[in-house]
Amino acid sequence: MSTIAESARIHPMAVVEDGATIGEGVKIGPFCHVGPHVVLHENVELLAHAVVTGRTVIGKGTRIFPMAVVGGDPQSVHHAGEETTLSVGANCTIREGVTMNTGTADFGGQTIVGDNNLFLANSHVAHDCRVGNHVIMSNNVMLAGHVVIEDRVILGGGSAVHQFTRVGRQAFVGGLSAVSYDVIPYGMLNGNPGLLSGLNVVGMTRAGIDRAVIHRVRRAYKAIFEGTASVRENAAAIREEYGDCAEVMQILDFIAAESDRALSSPTRGQKG
């Protein structure tokens, strides 16, 4: 049997399968479909024709717009029907035609989306992705499997992120860009192939980061990508100098971390 709070409002032409859990204040519009293993926390709203399926949990206050399909099976040839999950956080906006898939058994079986995110029309979150908080995915953005998107990233319309790629905190990816390699925190990437074109200074300023700190991050960026040694060696060489700057240390820790992908740079992937 379903567990449905008394204050939930379910349109008579919606389908809520037995076993679903529907929290206080939830609104489910006409022609919506809620699967038997779904949990909708308080004040979630599903507009007409939204589908939430699979073993999916939707956080409080999240709104899902028409024709979105949240919790579908992973689009992977290795998926054999295992019981994998999708978790979406609180206060997200999931616009028309968005798709989000559950995880795959070989990689822990979880796709995880954080709080206060905006997913514009027809964007896609594939299996086993990790999306942080306050992320904006513009129209038609595509995340392949196992992608990590850290907090406050903005992805421009039509951009595509290669599987297993990381995009660091508060990075900006321009529209129609191909993200084939990891993007450092606060980085700005544009083009196809995507090239690192500096720092997201506008985003840093809007986030209230002090101008003097931004200048230090710029100096560190120059030392990392214009130094005489490799990027990782350059980054290691300045660690002590910037130990008191949290923003630079986030970049250095990101570079030092293990990853399946190389790092985006101002030149990596250029032809010729």
Rg of the Cα trace of the chain? Answer: 20
- Per annotation, catalytic residue among 145, 168, 174, 187: 145
Q: Is pLDDT above 70 for 86?
A: yes
Whole-number Cα distances in Å, 76 to 69, 79, 179, 269: 17, 6, 20, 27
Instruction: Report pLDDT for 2.
Output: 83
State yes or no: is 128 an active-site residue: yes
Residue with tokens 């906006």: 93
Residue 152 is encoded by which pair of tokens? 């406050």
272 pLDDT band, cuts 50/70/90, is very low
Q: Is pLDDT above 80 for 1?
A: no
Residue 13 is encoded by which pair of tokens? 């032409």
Q: 195-199 and 187-190: which strand pairing?
A: antiparallel
pTM equals 0.97
- Per annotation, catalytic residue among 37, 41, 124, 127: 127
For the segment 158-187, the average pLDDT, to the nearest whole number, is: 98
106 pLDDT band, cuts 50/70/90, is very high
**In the chain, what percentage of residues exceed pLDDT 70?**
99
Which of 52-56, 216-220, 266-270 is least confident?
266-270
d(C-alpha 101, C-alpha 82), whole Å: 13
State yes or no: is 73 an active-site residue: no
- Per annotation, catalytic residue among 124, 128, 132, 174: 128
For the segment 139-154, the average pLDDT, to the nearest whole number, is: 98
Contact 109/102 with Cβ under 8 angstroms? Answer: yes
